[in-house]
Amino acid sequence: MAMLTIFLLLSAAFALGDARDLNDTENQIIENLIRNLPIESEEMGAKEKRELQTRSSSCPPGWHRYETHCYHYVPIMAKWPEAEHYCLLLGGNLASVHSLSQYNFLQSVIQSSANGAQRTWIGANDAIKEGLWLWSDGSRFSYQNWGQRQPDNYIHVAGNDNTNGREHCMEMNYGGTMLSPEYSPVIHQTF
């Protein structure tokens, strides 16, 4: 199975509560994410404090809101199950797509965050039953405007991953930039 970079949506509050139970890699991911979040300080002026408070009431700084979800891109290498696991640890899931406008929104987040169309995991998989695609967040798989004959089971890299040449996980930007056989995941979290 190929590796991807993780596109995370998370809250420092979710991460801090479970940090003691995580392995070193997971702790490093959480520490890096928290380190990149702006911190309110006494040096901030009233205007900056109001702006931070307003942003945090909708989505954390650096995150992107779409309807009831917040999205954040974090370039961490992971296989699909690992990416989903990290998302779950942080209170979210890999992103699900339910409309063309949401698909376009996710594309814009990926392109602005990764400086181009990076290959990106999203939350769909057919690992339980071949051809029955499900979203990892449990939402209904109804969006159908994928590329021609997609989703399919083509796996671009043969490996020792027991998939028998079948791809059970969905990615966006298959024709986009590929950094070795590794990509960038997307996750979402509801606030």
The CATH number given to whatever domain includes residue 155 is 3.10.100.10
Residue 95 confidence (pLDDT): 92
pLDDT, average across residues 154-181: 57
Beta strands in the chain (DSSP E): 3-5, 64-66, 69-71, 77-79, 93-94, 120-125, 134-135, 169-172, 182-183, 187-190
- 131's tokens: 């051809």
Say which residue, 65 or 10, is predicted with more confidence. 65
Summarised one tens digit per residue, pLDDT across range 127-148 is 888 889 999 999 999 988 877 7
How much of the chain, in percent, has pLDDT values that exceed 70?
A: 51
Residue 47 has pLDDT above 80, yes or no: no
Give the rounded percent of residues in the chain with a pLDDT score beyond 90: 13
Query: Which is more confident, 94 or 23?
Result: 94
13-27, 52-66, 95-109, range with the lowest pLDDT: 13-27
Q: How many CB atoms lie within 10 A of CB 55?
A: 15
Q: How many distinct structural domains can be found in the chain?
A: 1
pTM greater than 0.85 (yes/no)? no
State the residue range of the domain holding 114. Answer: 3-190
Average pLDDT of the segment spanning 41-65: 58
